[in-house]
């Protein structure tokens, strides 16, 4: 810790002028011998649990505040780790942080910290850390390989990313891309004040050799809280409620849907069957089998029983074949294909030709959508996707087809062709609270076959579509709740502890997922790993429906 008044003043000035928001970086903070000794105790004596939700994948210990409840014999195993913890929360160090940040008093009673190990594939997506009485976030790095300290190479990922914000009405939201990325370094200490709607950050995916690679982005991380009841500086009228309303957590609770478009006419008197004109229009896109009356009746019975259905080989064979090759070529052209040299693409990857644009904000979602206003030459892939999005998913004929299968009448629609780039894109768990919705999602991710297995279907690259039940009596989206979600190799199934998964569908090609989604049900697309051989693609249609009574959906 800087010991002189001059050093503290210099750090305070640096902190005050840092961008995109106030933060500070201190190198060689602790006695290296103490840090090495604590590191050995962590590796030898602490258990790490793998945790994965929509916003992160990480290996983590329990809260180190619990060290205070160990027996004397147990504590004797962690003398240096205890010394490190007590130093971080000492009165001297807390006063130093107050002087640098100007954040006000910090609690010495409430200790909130854990050890985090980011290994191959681990990541943490965009958020601002605003929960409860948190005032300052911090990270102390100690990266290791084979239980020994190492200097971390930036090409291994794991950088702490800082996001600038823009004003949206009375609030702020992060820009789609970070303006600073800070690679971890051994014995480096990073901290910043928790600011609602401003302190947006993420941790870049770690891209070392694989699950058996011993390199780890190990760190002690946590928060300093405002003074608690009974401590000097405690304020009963703390502004945490105001802060919470401005936070990314609060914004996640808002509806996920964009503006829906009204259909201009009703279904007509022949709503229960496809007419010749409608069959002709749909025949330009759909597998002929899905236009047969017997097939439609069987699909209707299945959907009525389950409230969801998956249709394989949905598009005509010639369209599917052309599109599969074109999407692979689009990734290759944009530097997002399997042979790319940079495992984590740049944030502008896929945007150079202006066929695609980023859809944010990243504390809710980040992916690419077709730019319908672009004047640039359109590719075979984007041209075909555009026809599917605007010529099929919004058409009156497809509306009637949806009605015949589901018995529900689409009254409004919102559609988009989506591209989720590897190492960059995702959506976080959000819901539509107003009314039930009918989701039609056409998966278009080209298969990557190794041997006889499509690796996407094993779920190791993420990109799965997930529906989750809301928790009664809890306002927080699942993204901010503890829990574990793992995709099992070979089965594609996702296990989630205590989060109520209703439906999970892996990234696939030419398969339509049709789901009646009840109000309040959470939905997200899992972050696509940098290990993926290309983008995850789909056409996503969301329809407001006239349910004529109580809906019984997913």
Indicate if 142 and 233 belong to the same structural domain: yes
My answer on whether 233 and 277 are in the same domain is no
Q: Is residue 3 part of a domain?
A: no
The reply to whether 68 and 21 lie within a common domain is: yes
287 and 265 fall within a common domain: yes
Residue where a domain stops, chosen among 252, 269, 295? 252
pLDDT at 188: 97
DSSP 281-340: HHHTTB-GGGGSHHHHHHHHHHHHHHSEEEEES-B-HHHHHHHHHHHHHHHHHTT-STT-
Is 75 inside any structural domain? yes
In a shared domain, residues 52 and 135: yes
Tokens of 240: 């945490």
Domain CATH number, residue 410: 3.60.130.20
Q: Dihedral sign, CA of 394, 396, 402, 408?
A: positive
Written as six digits, the tokens of 85 are: 């913890």
Q: How would you write the pLDDT of the chain (554 residues) with one tens digit per residue?
A: 555 688 899 999 999 999 999 999 999 989 999 999 999 999 999 999 999 999 999 999 999 988 888 888 888 899 999 999 999 999 999 999 999 999 999 999 999 999 999 999 999 999 999 999 999 999 999 999 998 999 999 999 999 999 999 998 888 999 999 999 999 999 999 999 999 999 999 999 999 988 889 999 999 999 999 999 888 888 875 555 555 555 555 555 555 556 789 887 777 655 678 999 999 999 999 999 999 999 999 999 999 999 999 999 999 999 999 999 999 999 999 999 988 877 899 999 999 877 899 999 999 999 999 988 876 668 899 999 999 999 999 999 999 999 999 999 999 999 999 999 999 999 999 987 678 899 999 999 999 876 666 789 888 899 999 999 886 544 443 333 334 444 433 333 444 444 588 999 999 999 999 999 998 899 999 999 999 999 999 999 999 998 654 556 77
Q: Are residues 303 and 408 located together in one domain of the fold? A: yes
Interior/surface letters 374-412, b for 16+ CB within 10 angstroms, e for the rest: eeeebbebbebbbebbeebbebbbbbbbbbbbbebbbeb
Q: What is the pLDDT of residue 493?
A: 40
- Clarify whether residues 167 and 269 are in a common domain: no
Measured CA to CA, the distance from residue 3 to residue 7 in angstroms comes to 7
Q: Tell me the C-alpha distance between 74 and 72, whole Å.
A: 5
Beta-carbon contacts of residue 390 (< 8 Å; ≥ 6 apart): 415
pLDDT score of 500: 82
Domain CATH for 150: 2.60.120.620
Residue 205 counted as domain residue: yes
Among the three residues 224, 252, 280, which one is the final residue of a domain in this structure? 252
Measured between alpha carbons, how far is 273 from 346 in angstroms, rounded to an integer? 49
Same domain, 230 and 268: no
243 found inside a domain: yes
DSSP letter string, 380-424: HHHHHHHHIIIIITTSHHHHHHHHHHHS-EEEEEEEEEEEE-TTT
pTM here is 0.91
Indicate if 230 and 271 belong to the same structural domain.
Answer: no
Residues 197 and 284 in one domain: no
Number of domains in the chain: 2
- Are residues 304 and 228 located together in one domain of the fold? no
Q: Is residue 6 part of a domain?
A: no
In a domain, 122, yes or no: yes
Same domain (yes/no): 244, 386: no
Where among 200, 231, 252 does a domain terminate? 252
Q: Which residues contact 376 (CB under 8 A, 6 or more apart)?
A: 353, 354, 355
In this prediction, residue 536 carries a pLDDT of: 98
Query: Would residue 2 count as lying in a domain?
Result: no
Give the residue numbers spanning the domain of 101.
12-252
Report if residue 55 sits inside a domain. Answer: yes
């Amino acid at each position: 810790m800087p010991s002189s008044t001059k050093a503290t003043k210099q750090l305070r000035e640096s902190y005050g002028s840092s961008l995109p928001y106030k933060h500070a970086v201190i190198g060689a903070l602790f006695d290296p011998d103490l840090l090495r000794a604590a590191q050995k105790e962590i590796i030898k004596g602490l258990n790490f649990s793998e945790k994965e939700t929509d916003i992160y994948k990480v290996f983590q210990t329990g809260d180190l505040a619990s060290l205070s409840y160990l027996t004397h014999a147990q504590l004797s195993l962690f003398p240096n780790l205890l010394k490190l913890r007590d130093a971080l929360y000492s009165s001297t160090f807390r006063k130093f942080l107050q002087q640098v940040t100007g954040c006000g008093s910090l609690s010495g009673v409430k200790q909130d910290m854990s050890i985090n190990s980011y290994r191959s594939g681990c990541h943490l997506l965009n958020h601002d850390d605003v929960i409860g009485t948190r005032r300052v976030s911090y990270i102390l790095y100690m990266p290791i390989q084979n239980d020994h300290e190492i200097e971390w190479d930036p090409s291994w990922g794991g950088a702490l990313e800082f996001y600038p914000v823009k004003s949206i009405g009375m609030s702020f939201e992060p820009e789609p891309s970070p303006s600073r990325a800070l690679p971890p370094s051994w014995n480096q200490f990073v901290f910043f004040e928790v600011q609602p709607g401003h302190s947006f950050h993420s941790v870049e995916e770690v891209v070392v050799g694989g699950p058996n690679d011993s390199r780890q982005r190990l760190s002690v991380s946590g928060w300093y809280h405002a003074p608690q009841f009974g401590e000097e500086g405690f304020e009963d009228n703390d502004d945490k409620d105001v802060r919470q309303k401005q936070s990314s957590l609060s914004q996640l609770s808002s509806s996920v849907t964009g503006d829906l478009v009204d259909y201009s006419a009703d279904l007509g008197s022949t709503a229960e069957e496809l007419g010749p004109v409608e069959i002709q229009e749909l025949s330009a896109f759909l597998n002929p089998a899905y236009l047969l009356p017997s097939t439609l009746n069987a699909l209707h019975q299945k959907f009525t029983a389950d409230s969801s259905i998956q249709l394989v080989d949905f598009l005509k064979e010639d369209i599917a074949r052309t599109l599969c090759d074109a999407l692979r070529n689009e990734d290759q052209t944009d530097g997002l294909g399997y042979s790319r040299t940079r495992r984590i693409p740049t944030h502008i990857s896929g945007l150079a030709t202006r066929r695609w644009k980023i859809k944010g904000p990243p504390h809710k979602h980040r992916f690419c959508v077709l730019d319908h206003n672009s004047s640039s030459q359109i590719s075979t892939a984007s041209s075909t996707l555009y026809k599917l999005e605007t010529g099929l998913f919004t058409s009156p004929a497809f509306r009637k087809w949806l009605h015949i299968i589901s018995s529900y009448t689409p009254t409004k629609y919102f559609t988009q062709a989506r591209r989720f780039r590897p190492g960059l894109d995702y959506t976080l768990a959000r819901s539509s609270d107003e009314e039930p919705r009918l989701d039609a999602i056409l998966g278009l991710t080209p298969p990557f076959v190794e041997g006889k297995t499509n690796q996407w279907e094993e779920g190791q690259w993420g990109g799965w579509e997930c529906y989750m039940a809301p928790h009664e009596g809890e306002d927080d989206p699942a993204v901010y709740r503890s829990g574990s979600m793992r995709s099992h190799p070979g089965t594609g199934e996702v296990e989630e502890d205590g989060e109520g998964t209703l439906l999970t569908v892996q990234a696939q090609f030419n398969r339509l997922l049709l789901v009646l989604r009840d109000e309040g049900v959470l939905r997200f697309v899992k972050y696509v790993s940098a290990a993926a051989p290309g983008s995850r693609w789909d056409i996503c249609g969301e329809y407001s429906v006239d349910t004529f009574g109580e809906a019984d959906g997913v």
